[in-house]
Chain A
Amino acid sequence: MLHPHTQIHYKNDLIGYGVFATAFIPRGTILWVRDALDSVFSQAYFDSLPAHYHALIDHYTFRNTNSDYVLCWDAARMINHSCAPTSAGTEFDFEIALRDLQIGEEITNDYALFNLKNYESFDCYCTETTCRIYISRAQYKDSVRMRREELKHVLQYIDSVPQPLSDLLTPHQLQNCLDILNSNE
Chain B
Amino acid sequence: MLHPDTELRYINDNIGYGVFAKTFIPKGTFLWVLDELDKILSPDMVRKLPELLRNSVEKYAYVDCQGDYVLCWDFGRYTNHSCHPTMRSLGQSVEVAIRDVAAGEELTCEYGVLNLSGSFNCACGKPNCRQTVTANDVNVYWQDWDAEVNAVLAVIPDVPQPLRSFIKADSTDKTLLEAIFNRQAVCVPSHVLYKTEASTMPKEDRSGDTLWKVRHS
Contact = CB atoms under 8 A, between A and B. Distances in A.
Q: Place the interface of chain B in its size category.
A: 10 to 19
A168 interface: yes
Nearest to A74: B56
Q: Place the interface of chain A in its size category.
A: 20 to 34
Contacts, number: 45
Q: Is the interface of B mostly helix, strand, loop or mixed?
A: mixed
Contacts of A141: none
A24 interface: no
Interface string B43-56: 00100011111001
Interface in A52-111: 52-53, 56-57, 71, 73-74
A39 B73 contact: yes
Q: Is the interface of A mostly helix, strand, loop or mixed?
A: mixed
Contacts of A168: 50, 52-53
Interface in B38-83: 39, 41, 45, 49-53, 56-57, 71, 73
B51 A37 contact: no
A50 B35 CA distance: 11
Contact of B73 (A1, A73, A165): A73
B165 A50 contact: yes
A49 B36 contact: yes
Nearest to B169: A50
Interface in A15-55: 17, 35-37, 39, 49-50, 52-53
A37 B51 CA distance: 12
Contacts of B37: 39, 53, 56-57, 71
